[in-house]
C-alpha cells in the first residue's frame, strides 16, 4: 500500500495538523510506504502523484477543503479519501463528496452532520483521531517540569489547577466553566483556572469578552489566560500540570485535548454531546454535563471560503443546530465533586488513560485505517 497524507505539513500545533501527522507517523511505523505533503501545495502534490503514484491520497480537513483534498488528486487520476471534521453545517460539495467511494470522519456525531446535510451514509466510515500515548503520559506532581509549568502560570502547589485548551476558550466552554466556578467559589477548595488559547486577532477579542465575564462574576483573580505560542512538545506538560481538565465544548467533532488529558490520567469535565459521546464515558472516564441549550439557525451566509463565487444566503426548511451550551449547574456540581474528591479524580483519570490507550492510540488508529483501505479497496 502506498499512501500520500495531505495536511498542514510540516505540522503546526493545531488539531488538524496533529491529526494528519499522527496518522503519517503510525503508517510509517507499520511499514506502510507513506509520504506527507501540505494540502495546499499543488506543485508538490503533483510531484508525488507523478513519481510516487500513491494508491490512496488521504487528506485531513473539513468539507470546505474539498478542492485541495478531493478535486486536485482526482484531476491526476489518483484516489482521494478525505478524512473530515464538521463545522456545524456542510454547505457545499455534496455532489462531489457523494461520488466518492469512501469518506472518513472523526466521530459518529460528525457522520450524523454529513448525513443530515445530504451525504450518503453508506460511503462514510468513522476513524477517530490518534493520540501519542508515549508522550501524553501521567506525570508526578514532583516532576521538575510539572512544577515549572505551575510556577510559570502562577499556580501554587496547594491550589487546584483547572485547565481548558483551545484556539479560543469560549468555544471550549470556558464561559460556562467560569459561571460554574462562581457558583461554587465560596465553598470550593483554593483553585486557579487556566485557559490556554492561540494568539490571533479573533482570540484576542474573545479573550477580552471572557475576562470581562470573569470580572463581572468576581473571580478574575483566579482566572488566567495564557496566550503564548507553544509547541506540541510542551502540551503534555501543560496538561500534566493540571488537576482537572474542563472543556464542555460548544462545538466539538472529536475533542482531542479531552483525549490527551485522559492519556495523562487527568479527570475530564465535558458535555454529554457531539464527539464526546465517542471518546468519553460518563462517570467512568469523565463527568459529562447535560445540554442546556442548542443554538439553532434558520439560515447561513456563505461566500468564497465555502466554494461559492459570490456571497449568498441559504435558508433552511428545517432549522439546524450549530452550537451547544452545557448546563452550568451540572458543571458546578461535577466540578465540586472533582475538587473535593481526590479519589474520584484518580479513578476517572486511570480509567481515561486505559480507554485512550485501547481505542485512540495513534498506532491503533493507523491499523484501523489500513484495515478500512483493505476492506474498501482491496489494498494491502
pLDDT digits (tens, 9 = 90+) for 10-56: 998 889 999 999 999 999 999 999 999 999 999 999 999 999 999 99
Checking if the pLDDT of 270 tops 90, the result is: yes
User: Minimal CA–CA distance to 6: which of 60, 55, 52, 49?
Assistant: 60
Say what percent of the chain tops pLDDT 70.
Answer: 99
pTM over 0.85: yes
pLDDT in tens, 196-205: 998 888 788 8
Contact 82, 5 (CB under 8 A): no
Bigger pLDDT: 20 or 86?
A: 20
Bigger pLDDT: 339 or 320?
A: 339
The CATH number that domain 144-359 falls under is 3.40.50.2000
Summarize the confidence of residues 138-161 as an average pLDDT: 97
Split at pLDDT 50, 70, 90, the class of 229 is: confident
Checking if the pLDDT of 303 tops 80, the result is: no
Checking if the pLDDT of 92 tops 80, the result is: yes
End-to-end CA distance of the chain: 5
10: preceding bond cis by omega (within 30 degrees): yes
* Beta bridge pairs of residue 56: 3
What residue spans in the chain does CATH classification 3.40.50.2000 cover? 2-130+361-377, 144-359
Checking if the pLDDT of 128 tops 70, the result is: yes
DSSP 219: -
pLDDT at 271: 98
Phi and psi dihedrals of 41, rounded to 5?
-85, 85
The overall average pLDDT reported for the chain is 95
DSSP 136: S
pLDDT at 305: 67
pLDDT at 322: 84
Checking if the pLDDT of 353 tops 70, the result is: yes
DSSP 171: G
* Beta bridge pairs of residue 293: 325
Split at pLDDT 50, 70, 90, the class of 372 is: very high
pLDDT at 96: 96
Checking if the pLDDT of 307 tops 80, the result is: no
Phi and psi dihedrals of 73, rounded to 5?
-65, -35
CA distance 362 to 131: 5
The CATH number that domain 2-130+361-377 falls under is 3.40.50.2000
**Dihedral sign from CA coordinates of 27, 274, 199, 265:** negative
Split at pLDDT 50, 70, 90, the class of 320 is: confident
Amino acid at each position: 500500500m502506498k499512501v500520500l497524507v495531505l495536511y498542514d505539513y510540516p505540522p503546526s500545533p493545531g488539531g488538524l495538523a496533529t491529526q494528519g501527522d499522527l496518522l503519517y507517523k503510525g503508517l510509517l511505523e507499520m511499514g506502510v510506504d507513506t509520504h506527507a505533503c501540505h494540502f495546499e501545495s499543488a506543485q508538490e502534490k503533483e510531484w508525488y502523484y507523478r513519481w510516487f503514484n500513491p494508491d490512496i491520497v488521504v487528506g485531513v480537513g473539513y468539507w470546505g477543503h474539498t478542492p485541495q483534498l478531493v478535486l486536485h488528486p482526482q484531476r491526476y487520476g489518483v484516489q482521494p479519501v478525505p478524512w473530515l471534521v464538521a463545522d456545524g453545517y456542510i454547505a457545499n460539495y455534496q455532489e462531489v463528496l457523494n461520488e466518492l467511494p469512501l469518506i472518513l470522519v472523526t466521530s459518529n456525531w460528525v457522520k450524523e452532520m454529513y448525513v443530515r446535510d445530504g451525504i450518503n451514509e453508506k460511503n462514510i466510515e468513522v476513524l477517530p483521531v490518534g493520540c501519542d500515548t508515549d508522550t501524553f503520559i501521567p506525570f508526578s506532581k514532583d516532576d521538575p517540569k510539572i512544577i515549572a509549568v505551575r510556577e510559570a502560570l502562577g499556580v501554587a502547589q496547594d491550589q487546584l489547577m483547572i485547565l481548558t485548551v483551545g484556539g479560543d476558550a469560549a468555544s471550549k466552554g470556558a464561559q460556562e466553566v467560569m459561571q460554574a466556578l462562581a457558583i461554587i467559589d465560596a465553598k470550593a477548595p483554593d483553585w486557579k483556572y487556566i485557559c490556554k488559547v492561540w494568539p490571533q486577532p479573533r482570540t484576542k477579542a474573545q479573550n477580552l469578552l471572557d475576562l470581562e465575564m470573569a470580572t463581572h462574576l468576581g473571580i478574575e483573580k483566579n482566572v488566567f489566560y495564557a496566550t503564548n505560542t507553544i509547541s506540541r512538545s510542551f502540551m503534555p506538560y501543560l496538561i500534566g500540570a493540571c488537576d482537572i481538565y474542563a472543556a464542555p465544548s460548544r462545538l466539538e467533532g472529536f475533542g482531542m485535548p479531552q483525549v490527551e488529558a485522559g492519556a495523562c490520567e487527568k479527570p475530564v469535565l465535558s458535555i454529554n454531546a457531539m464527539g464526546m459521546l465517542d471518546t468519553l464515558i460518563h462517570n467512568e472516564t469523565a463527568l459529562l454535563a447535560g445540554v442546556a441549550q442548542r443554538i439553532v439557525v434558520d439560515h447561513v451566509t456563505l461566500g468564497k471560503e465555502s466554494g461559492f463565487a459570490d456571497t449568498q444566503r441559504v435558508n433552511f426548511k428545517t432549522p439546524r443546530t450549530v452550537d451547544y451550551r452545557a448546563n452550568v449547574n451540572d458543571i458546578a456540581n461535577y466540578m465540586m465533586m472533582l475538587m473535593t474528591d481526590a479519589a474520584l479524580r484518580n479513578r476517572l483519570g486511570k480509567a481515561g488513560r486505559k480507554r485512550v490507550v485501547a481505542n485512540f492510540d495513534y498506532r491503533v488508529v493507523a491499523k484501523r485505517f489500513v484495515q478500512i483501505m483493505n476492506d474498501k479497496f482491496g489494498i494491502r
